[in-house]
């Protein structure tokens, strides 16, 4: 049995197969998707208020209108930002030419070289890192019922960084950063979880314990760097600030594979997360197995965050801001995992663009840009949100 | 608790620890002057290498460690009482970050690392302290000790990133300051110490002077006014004291976090929550903690040394977790 908010069978916001078939103009003014209790595929293809029915052949799915629109809008923005990222730099390329070169592989040899060889890998890394951080942040925020709980605030990023730096300094390149970063993120997650006595039990305690765990791993990173040979330390330094410059292609590939697995999984898990908004008892009655669900959600976000750090190092604030933006755009309803991923990609690329251009030819690492720009926002969130005293 | 108890349970153990760590600071090192040779110098031997190491390297460093530790310990105790928050710590609340940002800014604007005085750091610390206490007095956020710490961490992160950007842009500043931004007492000598000593002494004096009124303030502003104190003036003196202490300490040693958390935590366990006793014990415990961290930092990665700030984070984070986990945060 599924929970009531799910009686409308949802699919991912931008389900690719088929085009939008039937909409319900009459009910479009109703903002909230409140599906009637028995939506056993009504025989005339009418979608419940606030949703859109996508049909292809005999199959059809209902998609909430908010996430769909937000997804389409964010995709458009993402394409625009990618075009700008591909076109801006020492050698300017017209945005449309850049897109054509990237997608179709046509254009002047110079454009092709600049776009596909030089800028495309960086944009690719930025999109993947941003999407992973956005999705990880969304999952963790929902899991802990606290929108400040993100991989960077609970020490995951620091743990992943410490292990990645240790792996690089230790020398043999046989150990890939993704493996070490993933181990680090998992270790930090386990430590924070164990030391704070569970997610969401005592409001902000989870976060401050995460802060402590993060401080230890940060100190460990410095310790490793202070011991390392100067060359190894320089090689590892990139991981301590968060940058998209010259990232290793294998790590990006691993991240992309991870995203292919994690994002669909996250969408499936997000359905169950809807039920976790209530107390555990209610969620259990609604048919969710609470503990396995929690573990699965946590693991998914650890994998996303760890692989992202393996590519770019700790890029803060994306995991915090992207889900927030996604929720604003989609409105109330299901947990917006995919929208968060899209928003994360847009934010990361934009921050990198800013870092690349404002002080050109000097380049500010994307992690510093997000910290400086996102800091005031985080402060504002912290100081204005009222603590909800939930039992 | 009687004075005799305070003496036996708080002051004497703290003084003993300080003596032990100070001697260890002179005897132990990362280089090849071992405890035996160092002890011989202290007893009047004339081994020139050892003599130079102990008297010109370790002695000033130990003195700096004592000054920095005392300042940070007292600052932590005062800040915790003012914010009425057992987690309020100069490093965690962003006071140290404000001080270091001010120094970085001054150097980028043209000062040199050797001429920039402690007052720039004091100014930065004052701004950081005012922001932190302002946040602590916000309704909603300030009632929640843990949330205040998160806000401080966010502020520190932001200011730290801004410092990094400045250093990135300005290579000269970066070279001058690189050694300093992690928190360290290496290579700091009598000269730097004498420059900040007046600042620190004034800070401690202000802390001692304001402590009775600050204790009264924990009963609430109305009661304190009824007892004849002026809350605004008391808080202003407290802010000034914290700014002087943290700014001075940061000017010598860079940002050293967690000392202001660990020291009052331990002192409270020894002599209870009374602020005057806390201050007395913290003045002795602070240097002990810093010296201990410094000695350990020389030993764990021999023949290298580890920055002091890293070591205190390794010590302090578990204490932070312990304080947060304690079923009821100690009331202040």
Q: Is A384 on the interface with B (CB under 8 A)?
A: yes
Quote the CA–CA distance of A150 and A186 in Å, as a whole number: 14
Cβ A160 vs Cβ A216: under 8 Å: no
Quote the CA–CA distance of B83 and B332 in Å, as a whole number: 9
* Segments of chain B assigned E as strands: none
Looking at residue B160, its pLDDT comes to 87
Average pLDDT estimate for A258-282: 84
CA dihedral B167, B170, B176, B177 (to 10 degrees): -10
Distance in Å, alpha carbon of B81 to nearest chain A alpha carbon: 20
Distances from the Cα of A373 to the Cα of A115, A190, A321, A364, B84, angstroms: 28, 30, 11, 12, 30
Q: In what order do the strands lie in the sheet with A20-22?
A: A20-22, A51-56, A59-64
Average pLDDT estimate for B67-74: 94
Single out the residue of B148, B129, B139, B81 nearest to residue A208, CA to CA. B148
Average pLDDT estimate for A278-293: 77
Distance in Å, alpha carbon of A264 to nearest chain B alpha carbon: 32
Above 50 in pLDDT, residue A16? no
Best of A371, A373, A380 to disrupt the B interface (most B CBs within 10 Å) is: A371
Distance in Å, alpha carbon of B314 to nearest chain A alpha carbon: 5
B112 in helix, strand or coil?
coil
Distance in Å, alpha carbon of B305 to nearest chain A alpha carbon: 8
CA atoms within 13 A on the CB side of A271: 19
Looking at residue A39, its pLDDT comes to 52
Quote the CA–CA distance of A181 and A238 in Å, as a whole number: 14
Best of B165, B304, B319 to disrupt the A interface (most A CBs within 10 Å) is: B165
Q: φ, ψ for residue B11 (rounded to 5)? A: -70, -45
**Beta-bridge partner residues of A52:** A63
Nearest CA in chain A to B136: A383
Angle in degrees, 0-180, between the axes of helices A177-196 and A156-170, rounded to the nearest 10: 140
Single out the residue of A79, A50, A63 nearest to residue A15, CA to CA. A63
Distances from the Cα of B296 to the Cα of A59, A170, B28, B61, B299, angstroms: 68, 23, 9, 14, 5
Q: What angle do CA A212, A364, A354 make, to 5 degrees?
A: 110
DSSP symbols for A142-197: HHHT-TT--TTTTTHHHHHHHHHHHHHHH--TTS-HHHHHHHHHHHHHHHHHHHHT
Cβ B61 vs Cβ B185: under 8 Å: yes
Looking at residue A46, its pLDDT comes to 62
pTM here is: 0.82
Query: Per-residue confidence at B142, pLDDT binned at 50, 70, 90?
Result: low
Select, from the ranges A118-132, A157-171, A172-186, the one with the highest average predicted confidence (pLDDT).
Answer: A118-132
Single out the residue of B149, B267, B273, B265 nearest to residue B214, CA to CA. B273
How many other C-beta atoms can be found within 10 angstroms of the C-beta atom of residue B209? 12
Nearest CA in chain A to B309: A219
To which H or E segment does residue A20 belong?
strand A20-22
- A307 CB-near residues (< 8 Å, 6+ apart): A132, A178, A181, A182, A251, A254, A255, A258, A259
Distances from the Cα of B177 to the Cα of B132, B159, B163, B171, angstroms: 26, 16, 11, 10
Query: Mean pLDDT over all residues of chain B?
Result: 84
A39 in helix, strand or coil?
coil
DSSP symbols for A81-133: HHHHHHH-SSS---HHHHHHHHHT--S-HHHHIIIIIIIHHHHHHHHHHHHHH
Looking at residue A12, its pLDDT comes to 42
Above 80 in pLDDT, residue B83? yes
- A42 CB-near residues (< 8 Å, 6+ apart): none
Above 60 in pLDDT, residue B233? yes
Interface touch A211/B304, C-beta < 8 Å: no
Looking at residue B287, its pLDDT comes to 95
Q: φ, ψ for residue B101 (rounded to 5)? A: -60, -40
Among the ranges given (A117-121, A149-153, A272-276), the one the predictor scored with the smallest mean pLDDT:
A272-276
Looking at residue A344, its pLDDT comes to 94
Angle in degrees, 0-180, between the axes of helices A205-227 and B145-169, rounded to the nearest 10: 30
Cβ A320 vs Cβ A348: under 8 Å: no
Query: Per-residue confidence at B245, pLDDT binned at 50, 70, 90?
Result: very high
CA atoms within 13 A on the CB side of B254: 21
Above 60 in pLDDT, residue A23? no
Single out the residue of B199, B59, B64 nearest to residue B118, CA to CA. B199
Quote the CA–CA distance of B188 and B303 in Å, as a whole number: 19
Best of A192, A372, A374 to disrupt the B interface (most B CBs within 10 Å) is: A372
Query: Per-residue confidence at A200, pLDDT binned at 50, 70, 90?
Result: low
pLDDT cut 70: percent of chain A above it:
80
Angle in degrees, 0-180, between the axes of helices B259-271 and B12-27, rounded to the nearest 10: 140
Q: Is B88 on the interface with A (CB under 8 A)?
A: no
Interface touch B147/A222, C-beta < 8 Å: no
Quote the CA–CA distance of B200 and B184 in Å, as a whole number: 18
Looking at residue B16, its pLDDT comes to 92
Above 80 in pLDDT, residue A27? no
Quote the CA–CA distance of B322 and B264 in Å, as a whole number: 14
Interface touch B305/A226, C-beta < 8 Å: yes
Query: Mean pLDDT over all residues of chain A?
Result: 78
pLDDT for A319-373, tens place per residue? 988 998 888 888 777 788 999 999 999 999 999 999 988 877 788 889 889 988 8
**Beta-bridge partner residues of A61:** A54
Return the higher-pLDDT residue of B178 and A137.
A137
Single out the residue of A40, B306, A56, A149 nearest to residue A48, CA to CA. A40
Single out the residue of A187, A182, A189 nearest to residue A209, CA to CA. A189
Distance in Å, alpha carbon of A368 to nearest chain B alpha carbon: 5
Angle in degrees, 0-180, between the axes of helices A249-276 and A177-196, rounded to the nearest 10: 30
Cβ B213 vs Cβ B78: under 8 Å: no
DSSP symbols for B176-187: HHTTTTT---TT
pLDDT for A69-125, tens place per residue? 888 889 999 999 998 988 887 777 888 888 888 888 777 888 888 888 888 889 999
- B86 CB-near residues (< 8 Å, 6+ apart): B80, B145, B264, B265, B268, B323, B329, B330, B332
Q: In b/e form, how buried is each residue of B222-260, taking b as 16+ CB within 10 angstroms? A: eebeeeebebeebbebbbbbbbbbbbbbbbbbbbbbbbb
Closest partner residue to A208 among B149, B300, B314, by Cβ? B149
Looking at residue A10, its pLDDT comes to 44
Quote the CA–CA distance of A34 and B247 in Å, as a whole number: 57
Single out the residue of A57, A47, A56 nearest to residue A10, CA to CA. A47
Interface touch A211/B316, C-beta < 8 Å: no
């Amino acid at each position: 049995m599924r929970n009531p908010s799910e009686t409308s069978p949802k699919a991912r916001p931008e389900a690719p197969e088929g085009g939008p078939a039937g909409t319900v103009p009459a009910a479009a003014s109703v903002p909230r998707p409140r599906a009637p209790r028995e939506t056993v595929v009504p025989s005339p293809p009418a979608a419940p208020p606030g949703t859109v029915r996508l049909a292809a052949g005999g199959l059809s799915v209902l998609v909430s209108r908010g996430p769909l629109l937000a997804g389409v809008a964010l995709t458009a923005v993402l394409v625009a930002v990618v075009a700008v990222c591909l076109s801006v730099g020492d050698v300017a390329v017209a945005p449309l030419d850049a897109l054509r070169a990237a997608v179709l592989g046509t254009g002047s040899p110079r454009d092709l070289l600049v776009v596909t060889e030089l800028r495309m890998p960086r944009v690719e890394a930025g999109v993947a890192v941003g999407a992973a951080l956005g999705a990880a942040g969304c999952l963790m925020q929902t899991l802990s019922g606290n929108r400040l709980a993100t991989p960077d605030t609970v020490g995951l990023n620091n743990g992943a960084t410490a292990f990645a730096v240790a792996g690089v300094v230790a020398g043999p390149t046989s150990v890939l950063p993704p493996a070490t970063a993933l181990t680090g993120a998992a270790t930090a997650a386990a430590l924070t979880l164990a030391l704070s006595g569970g997610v969401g039990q005592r409001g902000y305690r989870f976060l401050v314990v995460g802060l402590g765990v993060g401080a230890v791993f940060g100190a460990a990173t410095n310790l490793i760097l202070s011991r390392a040979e100067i060359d190894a330390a320089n090689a590892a330094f990139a991981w301590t600030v968060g940058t998209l410059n010259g990232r290793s292609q294998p790590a990006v590939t691993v991240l992309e594979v991870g995203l292919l697995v994690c994002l669909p999984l996250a969408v499936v898990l997000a359905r169950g997360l809807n039920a976790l908004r209530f107390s555990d008892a209610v969620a259990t009655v609604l048919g969710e197995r609470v503990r396995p669900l929690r573990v699965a959600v946590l693991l998914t976000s650890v994998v996303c965050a760890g692989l992202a750090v393996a590519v770019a190092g700790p890029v803060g604030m994306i995991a915090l801001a992207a889900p927030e933006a996604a929720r604003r755009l989609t409105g109330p309803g299901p947990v917006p995992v995919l929208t968060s991923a899209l928003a994360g990609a847009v934010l990361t690329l934009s921050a990198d663009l800013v870092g690349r251009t404002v002080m050109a030819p000097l380049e500010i690492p994307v992690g510093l840009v997000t910290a400086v720009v996102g800091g005031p926002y985080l402060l504002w969130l912290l100081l204005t949100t009222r603590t909800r005293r939930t039992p | 608790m009687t004075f005799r108890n305070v003496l036996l349970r708080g002051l004497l153990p703290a003084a003993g620890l300080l003596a032990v760590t100070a001697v260890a600071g002179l005897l132990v090192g990362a280089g090849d002057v071992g405890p035996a040779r160092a002890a011989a110098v202290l007893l009047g031997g004339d081994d020139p290498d050892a003599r130079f190491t102990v008297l010109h390297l370790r002695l000033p460093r130990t003195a700096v460690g004592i000054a920095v530790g005392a300042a940070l310990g007292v600052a932590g105790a005062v800040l915790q009482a003012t914010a009425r928050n057992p987690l309020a710590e100069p490093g965690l609340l962003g006071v140290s970050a404000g001080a270091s940002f001010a120094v970085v800014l001054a150097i980028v604007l043209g000062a040199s690392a050797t001429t920039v005085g402690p007052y720039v750091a004091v100014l930065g610390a004052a701004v950081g302290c005012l922001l932190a206490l302002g946040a602590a007095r916000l309704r909603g956020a300030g009632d929640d000790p843990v949330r205040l710490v998160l806000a401080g961490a966010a502020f520190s992160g932001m200011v730290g990133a801004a410092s990094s950007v400045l250093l990135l842009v300005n290579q000269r500043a970066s070279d001058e300051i690189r050694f300093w931004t992690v928190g360290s007492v290496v290579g700091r000598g009598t000269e730097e110490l004498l420059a900040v000593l007046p600042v620190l002494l004034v800070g401690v004096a202000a802390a001692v002077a304001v402590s009775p009124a600050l204790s009264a303030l924990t009963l609430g502003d109305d009661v304190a006014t009824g007892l004849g104190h002026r809350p605004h003036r008391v808080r202003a003196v407290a802010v000034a004291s914290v700014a002087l202490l943290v700014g001075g300490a940061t000017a010598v040693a860079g940002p050293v976090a967690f000392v202001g958390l660990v020291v009052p935590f331990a002192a409270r366990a020894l002599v209870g929550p009374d602020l005057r006793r806390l201050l007395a014990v913290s003045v002795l415990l602070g240097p002990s903690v810093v010296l201990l961290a410094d000695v350990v930092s020389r030993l764990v990665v021999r023949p290298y040394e580890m920055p002091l700030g890293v070591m205190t984070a390794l010590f302090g984070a578990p204490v932070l977790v312990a304080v947060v986990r304690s079923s009821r945060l100690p009331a202040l």
